[in-house]
Amino acid sequence: MDDPSPALKDGFADATVNAIAQRLAAASPEFNRARFKKVVLAGFDELSLMARVRRVAEGMVAALPAEFAQALTIVERALGEPPHIDDVSEGMGAFQWAPFLEFVAIAGIAHPELALPALARLTRHFTGEFAIRPFLEQHLDTTRDHVRSWVTHTDPRVRRLASEGTRPLLPWGKHVMILKREPHDGLALIEALAHDSSDNVRRSAANHLNDVSRLFPDLALQHANRWATQSELGQATARHAMRTLIKKGHPAALGLLGYDVAAEVTLSGLTLSAKRLAIGDTLQVQATLTAAAKGKKAVRCCVDYAVRYASARGTERLKVFKGSSLSLMPGEPVVFAFQRDFIPRTTRVLYPGEHAVQVLVNGVMLGEQGFTLGVS
């Protein structure tokens, strides 16, 4: 999502629409290609990526048989056999399959008994995490029953759907209020996935718990502590799940990851490679950290940094970035450095004006240096 050029939606354009139409026409003579394109292409260029996905799905609804079971058979025939787990396409290439799942979300919402098993099958082509959200909103109990069975599925893509699809704060996904208000059921569903053999599944479980940490920090910490004591895999999952609380300097989260939150650390020599940058430049930052000369045991510190960005309205936006872990011997200075580019991206708009860099140690801001960002 950080690639600035071309825009994400440019990878999902007319050629994608034509390829989908060709697949559906080959799968069924009943497919009305002319109606499909008429629905899809009206104002298509002005739509965002996810709006384009939905528009194509709406075109499929208009051009396929009205009976959902019949239309679903055509959709699955058009997709063909799912790729092997090692051959799944990534990036924009995968989005060509997204409308097929969105079709299930639109046309199948009144038929969860058919639609939900279909999403479990189709998620092996492209993640069903977005398509499942309307079912969670309108058929919560039925959907959770299906999700429980997915947790033990042999295919890790289906197990991942159980976790990712029920995230309280799924990026790009429809927010379902019950998932945000009452995360306990979702956490119970993903308990086993924190120790899953698949890295992708464990990462999803961590993302799920990280969402919960933004809403209910204490609840998330309870689960992270339990995961961390149950297995080595669970420990790694818990560490990844605590990243938002770590950036906020939450003492219990820092302690869970083994940082010495009570240690006395001082910052000196904070310098920037330039006090004036142009948009597109990269800033180099260097500083020295020293732990208080108490005892002989190394002090483990979480060293992050934050950028205070200017905004269009003149207010400030603070963004914390992950730095590194450092072990400091008492009384022995350690020099560290990092860099940050100021290249515009689709998810980051940069504005000229006064900015600043902050250094955070165990969540505490120890120093700040300002600089000016201008236009080259």
Q: Are residues 66 and 207 in the same domain?
A: yes
Domain that holds residue 148: 8-256
Structure confidence at residue 375 (pLDDT): 86
First and final C-alpha spacing in the chain: 25
Structure confidence at residue 295 (pLDDT): 77
Tokens describing residue 304? 């992050």
**Boundary of a domain, candidates 256, 288, 306:** 256
Share of the chain above pLDDT 90, in %: 83
Least confident of 269-273, 313-317, 360-364: 313-317
- 81 in a structural domain: yes
Q: Are residues 123 and 222 in the same domain?
A: yes
CATH of the domain at 50: 1.25.40.290
- Under the banding of pLDDT at 50, 70 and 90, the label for residue 327 is very high
Least confident of 147-151, 199-203, 258-262: 258-262
Q: Are residues 88 and 237 in the same domain?
A: yes
Q: Are residues 160 and 54 in the same domain?
A: yes
- 41 in a structural domain: yes
Structure confidence at residue 103 (pLDDT): 98
pLDDT at 62 over 90: yes
Whether residue 352 contacts residue 373, with contact meaning beta carbons closer than 8 Å, is answered with yes
Q: Is 148 helix (H, G, I), strand (E, B) or coil?
A: helix
- Under the banding of pLDDT at 50, 70 and 90, the label for residue 314 is confident
Structure confidence at residue 4 (pLDDT): 32
Q: Are residues 317 and 223 in the same domain?
A: no
Structure confidence at residue 88 (pLDDT): 55
CATH of the domain at 309: 2.60.40.10
The model's pTM = 0.85
Q: Are residues 206 and 291 in the same domain?
A: no
pLDDT at 267 over 70: yes
- 3 in a structural domain: no
Q: Are residues 218 and 301 in the same domain?
A: no
- 1 in a structural domain: no
Nearest C-alpha neighbor of 52 from the set 84, 92, 82? 92
Structure confidence at residue 348 (pLDDT): 77
For 137-194, write each residue's pLDDT tens digit.
Answer: 999 999 999 999 999 999 999 999 999 999 999 999 999 999 999 999 999 999 999 9
Structure confidence at residue 3 (pLDDT): 36
Q: How many CB atoms lie within 10 A of CB 311?
A: 12
**Boundary of a domain, candidates 256, 290, 309:** 256
pLDDT at 90 over 80: no
* Mean pLDDT over each residue of the chain, to the nearest integer: 92
Beta-bridge partner residues of 282: 341
- Under the banding of pLDDT at 50, 70 and 90, the label for residue 111 is very high
Identity of the amino acid at 128? G
- 324 in a structural domain: yes
- Under the banding of pLDDT at 50, 70 and 90, the label for residue 2 is very low
- 50 in a structural domain: yes
Q: Are residues 205 and 303 in the same domain?
A: no
Share of the chain above pLDDT 70, in %: 95
**Boundary of a domain, candidates 256, 285, 300:** 256
- Under the banding of pLDDT at 50, 70 and 90, the label for residue 209 is very high
Nearest C-alpha neighbor of 178 from the set 162, 167, 190, 188? 167
The secondary structure element, H or E, covering residue 374 is strand 364-374
- 85 in a structural domain: yes
pLDDT at 92 over 70: no
CA atoms within 13 A on the CB side of 19: 13
Q: Are residues 66 and 42 in the same domain?
A: yes
- 2 in a structural domain: no
Q: Are residues 318 and 336 in the same domain?
A: yes
Domain count, the chain: 2
Q: Are residues 233 and 287 in the same domain?
A: no
For 237-249, write each residue's pLDDT tens digit.
Answer: 999 999 999 988 8
Q: Are residues 74 and 199 in the same domain?
A: yes
